[in-house]
């Protein structure tokens, strides 16, 4: 009987077998490789699951422009026009405009500050578009006023500067700038206004609470696509809850558009988008 230490360590690799069971080295090698691959796949799957990548339902986000539903009251009042004042006896003084924005106005402009120590200081702004090409540097006032001074907010009311009302600048009513319609928001398809085209639209993520109970449905958002192709003033028109409203807003706020145009010039438009959350 041969010494055990003289036998090959892996005889099936180096011979046709031993004893009563002859083997093929080629078949043995093939089986060994297949088993090694299978063990590797199992180890990778275990690591994947261990990191929380559990197989299961996935998110499908279908986002469509479904047209206008509701025009928010703040834009009905503004629509690019503006006026204001605090019932001064003097006419509004000439000056520069504050920051122009499509977002909600937090602080109206003032030529004469009435509150020197506000609890929550915010820079003044107007709800208008950057297409208004007037100075935004220097003492605030009404750029169209013929009166150089002294500083006055004007005889209007509702804060702001001018002869009108409601936090803007000028003789009209609204949070915008005077008689200008530069802040006008259009609707796609009306009067030759083209529709905006999405060029970057990352999908929203499911909230943990909604995924846990397999909650599904749609959120409808209203927003303004500005001439810069960015979404502004996003509002929830139809809520879904379970944290999905916030996830929809978070995703859509990152979108970028090829803006709408009118006569070849970029314009702001209001649209609604439907963000559908589906698990399958």
Non-local CB neighbours of 61 within 8 Å, separated by 6+ positions: 203, 204, 251, 275, 276, 277, 278
Question: What tokens appear for 33 in the block?
Answer: 């490789």
Strands 265-279 and 217-225: what pairing?
A: antiparallel
All residues at 6 or more sequence positions from 75 whose CB lies less than 8 Å from its CB, including other chains:
127, 185, 224, 233, 270
3-class SS at 163?
A: coil
- Sorted by where each begins, the domain ranges of the chain are 4-50, 59-71+185-279, 81-180
pLDDT, one tens digit for every residue, the chain (280 residues): 555 444 454 555 455 555 555 556 666 666 666 777 777 767 765 554 443 333 333 343 444 444 434 444 444 433 457 788 889 989 999 888 888 777 777 888 999 988 888 777 888 888 766 555 666 668 899 988 888 889 999 999 989 999 888 888 988 887 888 765 445 678 888 788 898 999 998 888 899 999 999 999 989 988 888 888 989 888 888 899 999 999 999 999 999 999 999 888 888 888 888 888 988 7
For residue 109, the 8-state DSSP code is -
pTM of whole model > 0.75?
no
Q: How many CA atoms lie within 13 A of 174 on its CB side?
A: 22
At residue 132, the pLDDT reads 56
CB 186, CB 80: distance < 8 Å: no
Give me the residue label for tokens 């998110």.
Answer: 59
Whole-angstrom Cα distance, residue 168 to residue 164? 8
State the pLDDT at residue 178. 75
Q: List Cα–Cα distances, 11 to 29, 31, 182, in angstroms.
A: 12, 15, 88
> 59-71+185-279 — its CATH code?
3.30.2420.10
What one-character DSSP code corresponds to residue 4?
G
Cβ(197)–Cβ(257) below 8 Å: yes
Give the DSSP letter string of 141-207: S-TT-S---S----S-BSSSEESSBSSSEEEEEEESBTT--TT-EE-TTSTTPPPPEEEE-PPPPPP
- Joined tokens for residue 39: 């063990």
């Amino acid at each position: 009987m041969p010494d055990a230490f003289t036998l090959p360590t892996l005889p099936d690799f180096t011979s046709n077998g031993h004893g009563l069971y002859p083997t093929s080295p080629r078949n043995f090698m093939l089986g060994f490789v297949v088993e090694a691959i299978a063990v590797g796949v199992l180890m990778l799957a275990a690591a994947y699951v261990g990191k929380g990548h559990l197989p299961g339902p996935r998110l499908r986000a279908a986002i469509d422009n479904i047209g206008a539903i509701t025009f928010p009251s703040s834009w009905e009042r503004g629509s690019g026009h503006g006026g204001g004042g605090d019932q001064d006896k003097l006419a509004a003084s000439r000056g520069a405009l504050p920051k122009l924005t499509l977002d909600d106005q937090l602080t109206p402009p003032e030529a004469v500050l009435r509150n020197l120590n506000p609890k929550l200081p915010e820079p003044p702004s107007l709800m208008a578009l950057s297409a208004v090409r007037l100075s935004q540097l220097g003492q605030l006032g009404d750029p169209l006023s013929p009166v150089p001074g002294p500083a006055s907010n004007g005889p209007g009311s509702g804060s702001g500067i001018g002869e009108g009302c409601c936090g803007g600048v000028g003789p009209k009513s609204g949070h915008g700038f005077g008689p200008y319609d530069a802040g006008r928001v259009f609707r796609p398809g009306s009067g030759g206004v083209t529709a905006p085209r999405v060029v970057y639209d990352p999908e929203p993520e499911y909230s943990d609470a909604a995924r846990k109970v397999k909650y599904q449905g749609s959120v409808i958002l209203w927003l303004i696509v500005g001439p810069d192709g960015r979404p502004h003033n996003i509002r929830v028109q139809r809520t879904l809850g379970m944290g999905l409203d916030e996830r929809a807003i978070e995703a859509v706020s990152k979108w970028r558009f090829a803006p709408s145009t009118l006569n070849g010039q970029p314009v702001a438009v209001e649209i609604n988008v439907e963000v559908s959350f589906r698990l399958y």
